[in-house]
Amino acid sequence: MSDSPVDLSNTLDTGRATQLAQALRTELRKAVIGQDAVIDDVLTALIAGGHVLLEGVPGLGKTLLVRALARCFDGDFARIQFTPDLMPSDVTGHAVYDLHTEQFKLRKGPLFTHLLLADEINRAPAKTQAALLEAMQERQVTLEGEALPIGQPFMVLATQNPIEQEGTYPLPEAELDRFMLKVRMDYPNAQQELDMVREVTRSSRADMLDVQPLRTVLQAKDVLLLQQVASELALDEQVLDYAVRLARTTRTWPGLILGAGPRASIALVRGARARALLRGGEFVTPDDIKSCALAVLRHRVRIAPELDIEGLEVDQVLTQLLDQVSAPRQ
């Protein structure tokens, strides 16, 4: 491939779309070392048109991943540091009085971008968190009674720290449900950390890698085409039924006191189509559904208190569920 972005405006070829999605993944792996599974999850959400809640301790490269992604598809990038005193207008924008025209003008907030990094989202109160809801669901923001559309593609990547609970506010269930995936970023293994330290210490930018050398693989408008190609991948009725059965089973599964709603079924199918495109498949398989099931379901269900006391985590309960719900034969 050449170093210049590729214009896909006149093609809907699945193979070409897969090639570009995989090229995007290759570039991201140059910047974010040791987090291949996280990169695949974020690309899954991007291709599926969803949002991601990224959970991990500080210093694992969450911000770097978002900056690298924006760089690779020539998208606009904005970052909001969520704090207890952050106001909704700091996110969405507000009306400003212009002395020259003696009229109010709307000043758009950082929400109007392609990629929005909502850093430590659970440090802001619910009122400010809720400022994201309309944008995430409707792809628009209402300011002073006027509905302003947000340019496409639009993706929110919100981070939260799983350790520090002091001064944090739990995300409301309505907001959690808007995130297509909840992705957990863990420590890299020994070899990956060695590779990362080697690369970072070669960089002139203190303790982080520079995303400038990354190639721009495609334009922001071409991401919309990838989303369209993925949405048109063949999906057998039995595979669709499998996705719905997984979501419905969480509502009656022992050990879960809150099950996933219909948005989970939709997210499973959208995520599976994106996975299929990313691996180069012509159709969606049950394995595509299963591969994104944990990220789709873990923030939409609630574990029973007695299991929590015993030290069981929601992923363990969901893994048992995935093992026991029968998948259609391929």
Q: How many residues does the chain have?
A: 330
Residue 106's SS3 state is strand
Query: CB of 115 within 8 A of CB of 73?
Result: no
Instruction: State both tokens at 183.
Output: 């992705």
| Band (167; pLDDT cuts 50, 70, 90) | low
Mean pLDDT of 90-108: 79
Residue 21's SS3 state is helix
Residue 43's SS3 state is helix
Q: To the nearest 5 percent, what fractions of the chain are helix, strand and coil?
A: 45, 15, 40
Question: Between 317 and 108, where is the model more confident?
Answer: 317
Question: Between 229 and 60, where is the model more confident?
Answer: 229
For CATH 3.40.50.300, list the domain ranges present in the chain. 8-84+113-232
Mean pLDDT of 288-295: 97
CATH number of 8-84+113-232: 3.40.50.300
223 burial via Cβ count (<10 Å: 0-12, 13-18, 19+): buried
| Band (27; pLDDT cuts 50, 70, 90) | very high
The predicted-structure confidence for 209-260, as pLDDT tens digits, reads as follows 567 778 899 888 889 999 999 999 999 999 999 999 999 999 999 999 999 9
- Strands 181-184, 256-258: pairing is unpaired
Q: What is the DSSP letter of 86?
A: -
For CATH 1.10.8.80, list the domain ranges present in the chain. 233-330
Beta bridge partners of 104: 97
Select 233-330's CATH number: 1.10.8.80, 3.40.630.30, 3.30.420.40, 1.10.3720.10.
1.10.8.80
* Whole-angstrom distance, CA of residue 179 vs CA of residue 82: 17
Angle at 176 between CA 173 and CA 181, to 5 degrees: 145
